[in-house]
Structure 1
C-alpha cells in the first residue's frame, strides 16, 4: 500500500500506520478524543481512568508523553506521536552483515531460491549464528531494502524474475472485473426463462487468432435471431460498449428488454450501454455458460464462418451483416423448422 504521509509535531508520519489497529492495549484515536473531553471537564486522572476502564498510569503516561501543544492535550497529534514513539527502526540484517550479504548475493547469482539459501546457511556455517537469514529476510532484502539497480539486479535472479512482490489473495475469492456492481442473473425477470416474450438477448465475444481480434455476438432468446457487432482489433470495454450500441440502435423498444452476458471485463461499461439503449444488463454466474445457452450454441455455428485461429479483424461490417442474415434465414429444429427471421417477425406481430 503506498504511503499517505501527513505532518505531525516532530516530523511526518504515514497515515496507513496511524490508522492501523494493532492491539487493544494501545489507546485508540476515539479513546484519545474521549480523554481530551474528560480532561477538559475537569476530571482527575483516576476518574478519567475509571470511566475509560484504563489504568491510571496509562492515562498519566499518555498525558505526559503526548501533550506537546500550548493548547493542551490534542488527541490527533497525540495519536500520531504515539505511532512515531512505537517505531523501533533498525538496520536490515543483510545490510548490516557484509559477509552474509555477499553469500546471499552469490547464491542468488547462481539462481538459488531464497529458501535454498536460508537452509544451506545452516549447513555451511553450523557454528556461526550471525550467518543466518530466514527465507522472508532474503525476500525482504530484495523487495524492500534494495534500491534502484540493486532491486532490478537481485529481482531478475529470482526464478520468476519479479522486481516487486505479487500480492496474494484468497483462492476462493473472485477478483472483481470492473467497478460498477454487476446485476446477477438471479435478479433477472422470470419471464426471460419462458422464451415466450421477445426482447431478451444473450451476448458474448468470439475471439480471433492470439486474442488480437474479436466480434460481438447477440442472440435473441425467443427467436434465436442473431446480430453481430464489429470490433476489429479493439477489445476494450469502451470499444465493446460502442459496438453494441451501434448494433442495437435500430431495434424497436419492444425488443429492448434484457441482455445477459458473462463476467468478462469487456463488459465493464455495462451501465453506460444500459443508459444509452434502455437495456437491463444481467451477468451469468462464473463458470456457468449454460445460462447463456442460445449464445453459446450460436457462437459454435458462427465458427463455420469465422474459424478459430483466424484474424477476425479482416471481416468488414458488411460481411458480418451478410453472415447474420444467412444464419437468420436458416431453419432451426428448436423453432419447429421456422427461421429466426420468421419467428421474430411473428413475435413482433403478436406483441
Structure 2
C-alpha cells in the first residue's frame, strides 16, 4: 500500500513514470500499468481506489467443498476414517468400489483439507482428529531428520541380515516375515508388550500377546506357536530387530524350521514393512500409555483383522487378507 501512496504523491507532484519507478526500485512498465487504468480516462490516480480495484481483480471465488455438499460421499469418507483408513486408501477405495459414481471420486488431498480446515467439509465436527488421522495432528508439519546409525554389538545374535537369502529381498516371493516388539506401559516392574509379525509379500499382520513380558524364552515360545499354524512354505525366514528378546532364536528356528536374521544396529529401514505396521498400530495402542496386559489374544486378533482388511496401495488396493487367502489356497491344493 505504501508504494501506491508514493505513486499518488509523485503523480500529484508532476513526476514522470520513470522518476517514480527509480524511487521505488521498480520497472517503469510496472508503474505504468498501475496508473494506466486511471489516467487513460483522465482521472487522478488515487492510492486507496487502486488498492481496492486490485483486491477486486484478484479475488477468487470460494468453491463449496465436495464433502459439504454431498452427504452420501461424506458418510462414505467418515466410515473409512472410523475404520482408521488413511485418506489415500479411502480415495482409492471409492474409485474401485463405486466406478459408476464418478462424482464420488475425490482425491486424498480433498479429504485431508476437510479434516485440517474447519471451513472446507468440516469433518472435524463429526470425527475427532485422534481417530481421523493416525498422526492425531491438527496441522501439517515437515518430517524430522533421520538420525545416523550407531554401532553396537550383540554377541548372541548369530545370523546377520546380509546372510539372508537373496529371494527375501524380492517381495514377490511369499514366506518371508519381519518382526519386532511393540512395548507399552510398565506393570509390576516389567514393560508390557506384544510381538508383531508382518509378511513382506502380502503385508499380512499377526499380533502375538506376551502376557509374561518380553523374556526371550516366553517370546520364542509364543512366536513358535503363532508361526507354527502356517504352512511350511510360508515360513521361509524371519527378520528381527537387535532386541534381546530373540536371544533364544535358535529354539524358534528349531521349532518352526524358520531361520531368523537380524538387522544391522539402528537400521529400522531394513524391516520397513514391520516399522510401518507398528506405526499403524499406534492408532489402537497409544505409545507410552497403553497397558498390553489389559487386552487378550482375541482383542489382538480383532485389531489384526482390521489392519488386514485395509486396502493397500502397494497391493494394487487389494487388502492383505485377500492376498494371504490366495496363498493359503495355493498351499492347501499343492
- DSSP 3-state at the match of 1:232: coil
Q: CA–CA distance in 2 between the matches of 1:336 and 1:202? A: 21
In structure 2, stretches of 5+ residues that fail to align are: 1-149
Residue 174 of structure 2 is aligned to residue 174 of structure 1: no
TM-score normalised to structure 2 length: 0.51
The within-5 A match list for 1:8-19 is none
Residue 297 of structure 2 is aligned to residue 321 of structure 1: no
Aligned equivalent of 1:337: 317
Residue 281 of structure 2 is aligned to residue 305 of structure 1: no
RMSD: 1.7
In structure 1, stretches of 5+ residues that fail to align are: 1-171
- How many Å apart are 1:348 and its aligned residue? 4.1
Does the Cα contact within 8 Å between 2:154 and 2:242 map onto a contact in 1?
no
- DSSP 3-state at the match of 1:345: helix
Query: Which gives a bigger RCO, structure 1 or 2 (Cα 8 Å, sep 6+)?
Result: 2
Q: Cα gap change, 1:330/1:206 in structure 2, threshold over 3 Å: closer, same or farther?
A: same
Aligned equivalent of 2:178: 202
- How many Å apart are 1:176 and its aligned residue? 2.3
Alignment length, in residue pairs? 178
Does the Cα contact within 8 Å between 2:192 and 2:211 map onto a contact in 1?
yes
Residue 172 of structure 2 is aligned to residue 192 of structure 1: no
Aligned equivalent of 1:277: 256
Aligned equivalent of 1:347: 327
Aligned equivalent of 1:225: 204
TM-score normalised to structure 1 length: 0.49
Does the Cα contact within 8 Å between 1:177 and 1:268 map onto a contact in 2?
no
Does the Cα contact within 8 Å between 1:261 and 1:282 map onto a contact in 2?
yes
Q: CA–CA distance in 2 between the matches of 1:175 and 1:336? A: 40
- How many Å apart are 1:173 and its aligned residue? 7.1
Does the Cα contact within 8 Å between 1:219 and 1:298 map onto a contact in 2?
yes
- DSSP 3-state at the match of 2:283: coil
Q: CA–CA distance in 1 between the matches of 2:155 and 2:304? A: 30
Q: CA–CA distance in 2 between the matches of 1:330 and 1:270? A: 31
- How many Å apart are 1:347 and its aligned residue? 3.5
- Consecutive aligned runs of 4 or more in structure 1 exceeding 6 Å deviation: none
Q: CA–CA distance in 2 between the matches of 1:177 and 1:319? A: 36
Residue 241 of structure 2 is aligned to residue 262 of structure 1: yes
- How many Å apart are 1:344 and its aligned residue? 1.8
- How many Å apart are 1:232 and its aligned residue? 2.4
Aligned equivalent of 2:219: 240
